[in-house]
A and B are shown apart, each in its own frame.
Chain A
Amino acid sequence: GAVVSQHPSRVICKSGTSVKIECRSLDFQATTMFWYRQFPKKSLMLMATSNEGSKATYEQGVEKDKFLINHASLTLSTLTVTSAHPEDSSFYICSATTSGRALYEQFFGPGTRLTVL
């Protein structure tokens, strides 16, 4: 149980285009989803927290107009990187939890490797 999937696993795009990454909870309802970015030297940075049906809460320094997050249902959240540039190349990971479980653990997706040319 508690499986989270991400799609695509890998994407290469041209500079200036937009890329959408999906995060799905497969066997539970995710009231809260988190989006992280992992840099090449391994540190994991929380970008935003999204609750179903409401606007995402972005961490300081994260551009909300560039990283659009939608959590339209209890099983799906999407991250759209708009007008992507090479510096947006990174490993993006989502996690999900359900009401009351954030106290315990988050369940992570397998990640999406974004490369912007």
Chain B
Amino acid sequence: NAGVTQTPKFRVLKTGQSMTLLCAQDMNHEYMYWYRQDPGMGLRLIHYSVGEGTTAKGEVPDGYNVSRLKKQNFLLGLESAAPSQTSVYFCASSYGQGEFYEQFFGPGTRLTVL
């Protein structure tokens, strides 16, 4: 099993450009999450999904949109990138409820917005 994979690994954008980050998991997990990691800030939740076709806002959702059209994929979109969105983005997945809270993380996408 590949676990959680993220595409691309690195990306440089200019202010105002758009892009989509792709997360895929092969563990049949119901829950998927997008976090951003900034120096000295830990990881902050952007959006999450509790199942195919559903999404919800996390702590820092502004400037991002997400979609979960297939259970195994969770897409994070930036419609008009800003320098403040320069960060490392991590996707995670979990079974979700009860004793299955463990979140499995992908390797991250390093995004730079100039």
Answer whether A and B are interacting partners: no
